């Protein structure tokens, strides 16, 4: 690297003589571990198809020198590695990058500094901003992501680096194992800035550094964000995502923003969770055509990469520029479909309003949804207790393994008194919802600060209620990163972003919206005191009031795709 630090890579190359384009991935999970370094791709096939494959440990990880700090060095370390790879005697001088999650983001950060020999990238299931979608989401801290990731994926190598003495290392690893075995209980520890595992193990100080910077500290958060520099991303990119991926919102934003560059962008979204490309997700079976190993019964994910990089690094006409740039999996009918843009131009953004009572009552009979504008209706209330938060069950999660994410039944959760449930009548015909989803909520609380959540659910005739999308907003940060004044029981308008989905609600099913104030451990509960459980452990209950009347018409905006005429 330009500062003298040496980074190490494993290099796989064709047996035959010649010069070949290089495919580079840069990851913090060890180039020597196939589960991470090869994960969802068959790198042997990449080599057999005439590519040099380079898998590099990023700075401060495993074999590479230096000190690891998430994302801090990835832009210019990526630049230096790309240019080094392009100059190798067996390199054609053209370099592409691939990788998922963290090593999807190393591609984007590298691309912002424009190494001359980086030709195309293939970022999968990745993000764009630590402040929204990684550490936090709309002002709410996400413990399941940061704590699990650091303790499970980052700390083991840090301990090996810290302790030369075998006995000390063994003791530290045993402590780590004990913490990992109790990770679900440790999510509940507050204040988070004294989180015992990292305090006792005395590693990963950047965890506490991030917690010390408030969201309004823009200079700090912008250092590792691409959200403020899309104009620098002038490169062809294939964006791969999943409807149940924890980064589906940022993935879609990256695609939409980078299409403005004029460089070809491709987008494919399957019914997948984070790094998990099986045809069975959660409690749903989407069919073999949904699997990343047999996409639309035509190709697998490795095929996608070979075709993409054949086009950009070898100049082979693979027809990419003539075909629709978007391919999405439509759940409910479980079919792949090609599209010309995202969001779809033919979308009809339709408000479904919250109402009291009605014949479509769900389990507790909270209310119903319809396209009719509310009139003079009684508001709904619930008591939110941060000591007893609504449990997370499925959705776009990233904790305790891949089997905790995806479409899971919410019907038991809907029985809780702190979850308001609004459903349509059973549908008489199929309704397709494909695109971005937002909830406009008018609400009041009797505390200084609080959160509100919204969850879109597909309720089957037998009562099974599968989660599709979920969002949350912190009252303090409801209008951005400049904190609002403390609440004082006034009615406040909130916009809750549920990101996006593609699902057909079948006849007999109901469209259901859940409103509450928590989802744990997905999100850190709001203590309702005006402070955060990051630096405080005090918690009080909040009386939440949800309005749906002529003046305050709370509603969910659904992107309805009209059925094609015969």
Which residues does the annotation mark as catalytic? 101, 245, 274
Q: Which of 126, 396, 116, 400 is nearest to 251 (CA)?
A: 126
Q: What count of residues does the chain have?
A: 566
Calpha distance 211→226 (Å, rounded): 20
Structure tokens at 250: 């940022």
**Pairing assessment for the beta strands 265-273 and 237-244 based on DSSP bridges:** parallel
Q: Which of 85, 70, 78 is nearest to 12 (CA)?
A: 85
224-260 as b/e: b if 16+ CB within 10 A: bbbbebbeebebbbbbbbbbbbbbbbbbbbbbbbbbe
Run of H or E residues at 197? helix 196-201
Calpha distance 82→121 (Å, rounded): 12
Q: Which of 440, 449, 425 is nearest to 532 (CA)?
A: 449
Calpha distance 271→244 (Å, rounded): 6
Output the furthest CA–CA distance in the chain (Å, rounded): 79
502: Cβ contacts below 8 Å, ≥ 6 apart: 243, 269, 328, 329, 330, 331, 432, 433, 434, 435
Residue 422, classified by CB atoms within 10 Å of its CB into exposed (0-12), middle (13-18) or buried (19+), is buried
* Other CB atoms within 10 Å distance of the CB of residue 372: 10
Q: Calculate ∠ Cα 145-394-300, nearest 5°.
A: 85
3-state SS of 91-148 is: EEEEEEEEEECHHHHHHHHHHHCCCCCEEEEEEECCCCCCCCCCCEECCEECHHHHHH
Structure tokens at 14: 């064709």
Asked if residues 550 and 456 have their Cβ atoms less than 8 Å apart, the reply is no
158-188 as b/e: b if 16+ CB within 10 A: bbeeeeeeeeeeeebbeebeebeeebeebbe
Residue 152: alpha-carbon gap to chain centroid: 18
**Pairing assessment for the beta strands 237-244 and 118-124 based on DSSP bridges:** parallel
């Amino acid at each position: 690297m330009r500062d003298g630090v040496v980074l190490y890579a494993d290099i796989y190359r064709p047996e035959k003589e010649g010069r070949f384009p290089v495919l580079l991935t840069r990851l913090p999970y060890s180039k020597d571990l196939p589960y991470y370094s090869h994960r969802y791709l068959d790198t042997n096939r990449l080599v057999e198809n005439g590519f040099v494959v380079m898998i590099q440990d990023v700075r401060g990880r495993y074999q590479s020198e230096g000190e690891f700090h998430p994302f801090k060095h990835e832009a210019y370390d990526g630049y230096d590695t790309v240019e080094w790879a392009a100059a190798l005697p067996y390199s054609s001088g053209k370099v592409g990058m691939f990788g998922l999650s963290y090593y999807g983001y190393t591609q984007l950060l590298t691309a912002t500094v424009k190494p001359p020999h980086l030709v195309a990238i293939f970022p999968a299931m990745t993000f764009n901003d630590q402040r929204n979608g990684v550490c936090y989401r709309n002002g709410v801290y996400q413990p399941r992501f940061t704590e699990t990731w650091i303790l499970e994926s980052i700390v083991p190598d840090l301990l090996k680096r810290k302790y030369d003495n075998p006995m000390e290392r063994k003791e530290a690893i045993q402590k780590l194992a004990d913490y990992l075995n109790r990770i679900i209980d440790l999510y509940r520890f507050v204040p988070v800035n004294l989180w015992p595992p990292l305090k006792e193990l005395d590693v990963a100080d950047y965890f506490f550094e991030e917690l010390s910077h408030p969201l309004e500290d823009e200079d700090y958060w912008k250092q590792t964000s691409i959200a403020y520099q899309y104009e620098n991303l002038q490169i062809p990119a294939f964006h791969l995502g999943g409807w149940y991926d924890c980064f589906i919102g940022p993935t879609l934003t990256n695609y939409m923003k980078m299409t403005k560059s004029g460089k070809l962008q491709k987008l494919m979204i399957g019914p997948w969770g984070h790094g998990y490309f099986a045809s069975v997700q959660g409690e749903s079976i989407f069919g073999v055509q949904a699997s990343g190993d047999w996409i639309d019964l035509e190709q697998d994910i490795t095929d996608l990469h070979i075709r993409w990089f054949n086009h950009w690094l070898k100049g082979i006409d693979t027809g990419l520029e003539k075909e629709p740039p978007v391919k999405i999996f439509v759940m409910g009918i479980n079919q792949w479909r090609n599209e010309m843009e995202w969001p779809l131009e033919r979308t009809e953004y339709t408000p479904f309003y919250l109402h009291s009572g009605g014949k479509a009552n769900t389990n507790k009979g909270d209310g119903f949804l319809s396209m009719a504008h509310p009139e003079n209706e009684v508001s709904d209330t619930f008591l939110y207790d941060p000591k007893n938060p609504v449990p997370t069950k499925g959705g776009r999660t990233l904790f305790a393994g891949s089997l905790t994410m995806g479409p899971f039944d919410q019907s038991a959760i809907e029985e809780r008194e702190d979850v308001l449930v609004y459903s349509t009548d059973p549908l008489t015909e199929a309704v397709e919802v494909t695109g971005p989803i937002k909830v406009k909520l008018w609400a009041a609380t009797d505390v200084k600060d609080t959160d509100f959540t919204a969850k879109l659910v597909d309720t089957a005739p037998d009562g099974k209620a599968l989660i599709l999308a979920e969002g949350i907003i912190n009252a303090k940060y409801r209008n951005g990163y400049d904190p609002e004044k403390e609440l004082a029981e006034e009615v406040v308008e909130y916009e809750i972003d549920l990101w996006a989905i593609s699902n057909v609600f079948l006849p007999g099913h109901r469209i259901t919206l859940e409103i509450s104030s928590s989802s744990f451990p997905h999100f850190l509960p709001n203590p309702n005191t005006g402070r955060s459980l990051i630096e405080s452990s005090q918690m009080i209950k909040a009386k939440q009031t949800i309005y749906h009347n002529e003046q305050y018409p709370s509603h969910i905006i659904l992107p309805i795709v009209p059925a094609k005429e015969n």
